[in-house]
Amino acid sequence: MIYSVLRFYARLGIWFCFRKVYIERRELVPPGRHVIYGLNHPTAFLEPIILGTHVRERCWFMLRGDKFVNAPVRWFLDQIQNLPIYKGGDALGREALRGNVETMDRATDEILLGRPTVILSEGVCRHERRLRPIQRGTARMLFQAYKKDRSKDVAIVPAAINYTESNGFRSSVTITFAEPIRAADYVEAHRADARATVDTVTEELHRRLRALVIHVADRRRDALADKLLPLIQHRRPDGGVGPRSPHSPFVREQWRAIETVNAMDDFEAGRLERDLDAYLAGLTQHGLTDGGVALPGYASMSKAALLWLTGTLALFGWLLNFPAAAITQRQTEKLVRNPQFYSSNRFGMGLAVNLVYWLVWMGISAVIIGWFALLVPLVFGSLGYFYLVHHDAFALWQQAAKVRSVPAATVEGLRAEASDILTRVGFFDEQHLALDPELA
């Protein structure tokens, strides 16, 4: 009961925090569902929440053992299906590592019952666009579950997560599943050499995630990637109705662009970054944004009329939800110093603050309108979400409208600069595709 309620509430929270959630290639998850989801881990705990709220099964999650501090906390964490995993560096010390045996046994039992376990396979959290070495625990769990019941099709399902901006509110997130790694395919090898086979499966999990995770190989090019990737997204913007979609329009192209950057020598990468900086400086000089230059047609009169007609409703949604949003933002900035914990803590803080905020308003409303006070979460939530969608659309309309105030020759020059930069990383915009259909 607690799990189901929190899962529903957390999914709504994810839809508020992210403009779009893409869940790709879901059909690759084996129908038997005796699976271990192996994820990469760029934030503190958003990855398992996003996956757990967007798959059909009730998942179990591995959580740092030092969070299980006392009996009430352990009971609650068990209710929301968390299992303790201990590390030598945890506050509980090396003695607690013995608890991992019990955790592994419990997790494999749940897997065989059709309740997947979610593992952050890198083992450590780093706030970066990079896949780190995969730990051996995911592969060990695969073979332990299989040895318990060889009749079950036990498999690791690689799940790659990519954020457009992990700490950015109303950014986008994509989870892409890869072909499962089945224990049955490695039975003979594991019987001959268990340790080597665990290493082989671990390497295979890394290979399949690496083919999906946007990975900047050279840390010196992190800034270049952060400036380059939005240009691709602006030309393949989030589309469609609803907060989730089965296919991202831009992640694969972003992945290919970064692979192109990874293959560049230092001179070529440096030249690309200098040209990109010059383009961005030109935008700033003329008061423009790349989003506006990429989509000038968004500033149509019909969209302006629709935004104006619905503006009052959006304003009402902002007024109702602003206090909770302001408290969440202020407390997150006050308490969080490490960037890799920022988005996760803001998300958790937002869930808690909004729950208290709604309960207060329900109490006030109950005195005035009685049982209709139960509608407070629905009214506040729906109007708040409408405001966010309206705000996103209005911001893009403003960016596109500014393009009209700049001489056409200047805009065309900027557009040509962006097109040249993107062509050098293997991205072709609609203008290129129209000129050369073979690129499509």
Kindly write down the DSSP assignment for every residue of 335-384, as one continuous string. Answer: H--SHHHHHHHHHHHHHHHHHHHHHHHHHHHHHHHGGGGGGHHHHHHHHH
Asked if 148 and 181 touch (Cβ cutoff 8 Å), the reply is no
Beta partners for 181? 156
DSSP character string of 178-200: ---EEGGGGHHHHHH-HHHHHHH
Half-sphere exposure (Cβ direction) of 43: Cα atoms closer than 13 Å: 24
Sign of CA dihedral 71, 75, 80, 82: positive
C-beta neighbour count of 79 within 10 angstroms: 12
C-beta neighbour count of 32 within 10 angstroms: 11
Half-sphere exposure (Cβ direction) of 134: Cα atoms closer than 13 Å: 27
- pLDDT for 429 beyond 80: no
Asked if 115 and 36 touch (Cβ cutoff 8 Å), the reply is no
The tokens for 178 are: 């890869």
Which pLDDT score, from 0 to 100, does residue 88 have?
59
- How, if at all, do strands 117-120 and 244-245 pair? unpaired
The tokens for 5 are: 């309620």
Please give the DSSP secondary-structure letter assigned to residue 288: -
Q: What angle do CA 204, 210, 211 make, to 5 degrees?
A: 95
Cα(68)–Cα(77) distance, integer angstroms: 8
Q: Is the pLDDT higher at 220 or at 433?
A: 220
Residue with tokens 């019952």: 113
- pLDDT for 373 beyond 50: yes
- How, if at all, do strands 171-177 and 60-64 pair? unpaired
Distances (CA, A) of 289 to 74, 258, 408, 409: 49, 22, 15, 16
Q: What is the tens place of the pLDDT at every residue in 309-358?
A: 999 999 999 999 999 999 999 999 999 888 888 999 999 999 999 999 99
User: What is the share, in percent, of the chain residues with pLDDT greater than 90?
Assistant: 80
Which pLDDT score, from 0 to 100, does residue 126 have?
80
Residues in the chain: 440
Q: What is the tens place of the pLDDT at every residue in 31-51?
A: 877 999 999 988 878 999 999
Sign of CA dihedral 340, 346, 352, 355: negative
Name the pTM for this structure: 0.91
